[in-house]
């Protein structure tokens, strides 16, 4: 099995070496093997890093990502991923709804047409003064 030094793995995975050390410390990556005092990981770790990055983009926290299967394609790992993703969807839906409400509030402000806060109808209806 081929092992990659931390710098080479960081380059291949397009992350910083400090990120790899942090992820190792948090349990997202397996413990590195030491060669001459330097961290090395199996080349297959690139796939695990891709999974971590994808999960981050999907909104998973680092704590949640530590629960993800190692990236193997076994039916058990696939089922575990599907279960986690299914549980994540309602949280993402809430986040989307909150973001859409914020967008609507900004759009309402732009449509108001007032030129100062003292005359703003939106501020008067909420009882808020700047």
Q: Are 66 and 56 in contact (CB under 8 A)?
A: no
| Residues in contact with 21: Cβ distance below 8 Å, sequence separation at least 6, in sequence order | 6, 39
Rounded distance, CA 86 to CA 89, Å?
A: 6
Q: Give me the pLDDT at residue 71, please.
A: 60
33-53 pLDDT per residue, tens: 998 889 999 999 999 999 899
50-104 pLDDT per residue, tens: 989 999 998 999 999 998 877 667 788 888 888 999 999 999 999 999 999 999 9
Q: Give me the pLDDT at residue 49, please.
A: 95
Q: Give me the pLDDT at residue 69, please.
A: 76
| Residues in contact with 60: Cβ distance below 8 Å, sequence separation at least 6, in sequence order | 68, 84, 88
**Of 55, 64, 42, 48, the residue nearest 13 (C-alpha):** 48
């Amino acid at each position: 099995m081929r092992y990659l030094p931390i710098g080479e793995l960081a380059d291949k995975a397009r992350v910083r070496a400090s990120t790899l050390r942090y992820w190792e410390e948090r349990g997202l990556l397996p413990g590195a093997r030491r060669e001459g005092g330097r961290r090395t990981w199996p080349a297959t770790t690139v796939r695990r890093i891709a999974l971590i990055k994808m999960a981050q983009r999907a909104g998973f926290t680092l704590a949640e990502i530590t629960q993800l299967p190692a990236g193997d394609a076994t039916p058990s790992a696939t089922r575990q991923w599907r279960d986690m993703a299914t549980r994540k969807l309602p949280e993402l839906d809430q986040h989307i709804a909150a973001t859409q409400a914020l967008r609507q509030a900004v759009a309402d402000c732009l449509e108001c047409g007032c030129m100062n806060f003292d005359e703003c109808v939106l501020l008067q209806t909420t009882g808020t003064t700047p």
